Amino acid sequence: MVAVVAHDEVAVRGYDNGRHVAERHVAIGEVRLDQAAAIDVDDAAADFDSFAGEADDALDKVAMDAGGVVEDDDVAAFGGVEEVAPGRRAGVPAGEVAGEGLDVDAIRDALSQMGESLLVVGDSTTVKVHIHTHRPGDPLNYAVSIGSVSDVVVENMQAQYQQFLRQSRPPERAQPTKPIGIVAVAIGDGLKRVLDSLGCDAVVHGGQTMNPSVEELLEAIDSLPQEQVLLLPNNGNVIMAAQHAAKLATKQVLVVPTRTIPQGISALLAYNYELGLEENLANMAEAARAVHTIELTLSTRAAKLGNVRVRQGDFIALLDEELVAAGSNPSRVLLAALNRAEARNGEVATIYRGAEATPELLSSVMSVFAKHFPHLEVEVVEGGQPHYHFIIAVE
């Protein structure tokens, strides 16, 4: 499905082997016009039909006819699970190709030449696909050639990201300083951007195996102009150092006892500018307790903890810091942890992708959600954290 957006007017036509089949309010790009110019909706739709799925070419034709310029035509075709800027919710992949004798591996190989961030899951009769590409027509044409295409979504990732940046920058950057400062601990560029976007004033580098010192926490506290500060350790091993720093600080500092990154993010979302220090502490601590955290990584040594036996090199899953599953198959390990977290009763899952998580491993993780928890609203965020391939919040 393709569309052209111009001054909030949307021309939408669907196609399936040349036939009009549906209407969708989905944009593949924008054509920038002079104030006096306009796009004829019917003509724009005809352009898309005539180019039979070559969305880039159609967009160029619409722009040429209207005397405008194509902007933001970097789009993602097929599906709704994306590696997106933090704060944006996305769904389980929706783009489908149906047919008989579909070869999932062959489809993955063919599409890998057409874009990046590729996810392909399915079987011989139905395949779901997600891909980032500058030319959405290429994967669309390929999909039509091998089967029946349905539920296609084409989204402008660059425009969404820019909109996210405009909407989620902390208001204190352009407004008077808020009365309470916030310091948090995290490691990974993506996680730091998430915390910054949610109003954190200072992020101290640290996390699992890299605990910050009391001095580093005090330095961050002292760097803020506020006399009242909330401190989020975001790791069970950092809580003691955070409490020590709060006692030594010359300012009034309270520690929100967040033990994981998802708990810290949930706590930040509960912060209220109109409440005082202690009221915010209570609300943020309660919000942190409401989220389950699953951490997926590789074991560096053999061990037996409780009823879980771990071999060196196994994938292991921790649920709220407790080891709950281990094995050589990451999908099975994750499924066991999600079941323990009662994800079937959840509504939202946010996946923070670590620096060591390969596209293939991400595809395996997404397959677990698509197959076993299709009701969950899923978001993938580039966390960039070391050690943990994935940190997953279930709410």
Tens-digit pLDDT profile for residues 56-114: 455 455 445 544 444 444 333 333 333 333 333 333 333 677 788 888 888 888 888 88
> How much is the pLDDT for 304?
85
> How much is the pLDDT for 367?
95
Taking only the tens place, the pLDDT of each residue in 237-295 is: 999 999 999 999 999 999 999 999 999 999 999 999 899 999 999 999 999 999 999 99
Say yes or no to pLDDT of 211 above 80: yes
Measured between alpha carbons, how far apart are the two ends of the chain, in Å? 32
Taking residue 106's Cβ as centre, other Cβ atoms within 10 Å add up to 11
User: With contact defined as beta carbons under 8 Å apart, do 214 and 244 qualify?
Assistant: yes
Instruction: Specify the amino acid at residue 43.
Output: D
- Please tell me the distance from the alpha carbon of residue 69 to that of residue 391, in angstroms, as a whole number: 41
Whether 309 and 366 share a structural domain:
yes
Taking only the tens place, the pLDDT of each residue in 315-364 is: 999 999 999 999 999 999 999 999 999 999 999 999 999 999 999 999 99
> How much is the pLDDT for 164?
55
The whole-number average pLDDT for the span 373-387 is 93
Say yes or no to pLDDT of 143 above 90: no
- Please tell me the distance from the alpha carbon of residue 35 to that of residue 338, in angstroms, as a whole number: 52
User: With contact defined as beta carbons under 8 Å apart, do 181 and 228 qualify?
Assistant: yes
| Residue 165 banded pLDDT, cuts 50, 70, 90 | low
Closest CA to 10 of 28, 34, 35, 37: 28
The whole-number average pLDDT for the span 12-21 is 31
Whether 269 and 196 share a structural domain:
yes
Whether 158 and 217 share a structural domain:
no
Whether 327 and 309 share a structural domain:
yes
Half-sphere exposure of 194 (CA within 13 A, CB side): 32
Q: Which of 168, 201, 231 is the last residue of a domain?
A: 168
| Residue 144 banded pLDDT, cuts 50, 70, 90 | confident
Q: Are strands 180-186 and 228-232 parallel, antiparallel or unpaired?
A: parallel
Whether 164 and 212 share a structural domain:
no
Q: Which domain holds residue 44?
A: 1-73
Whether 44 and 78 share a structural domain:
no
> How much is the pLDDT for 271?
94
Whether 94 and 136 share a structural domain:
yes
Whether 44 and 141 share a structural domain:
no
Residue 267, SS3 per DSSP: helix
Whether 113 and 175 share a structural domain:
no
Domain count, the chain: 4
Q: Which of 137, 153, 168 is the last residue of a domain?
A: 168
Say yes or no to pLDDT of 232 above 50: yes
Whether 153 and 164 share a structural domain:
yes
Q: Which of 168, 191, 220 is the last residue of a domain?
A: 168
3-state secondary structure 31-86: EECCCCCCCCHHHHHHHHHHCCCCHHHHHHHHHHHHCCEEECCCEEECCCCCEECC
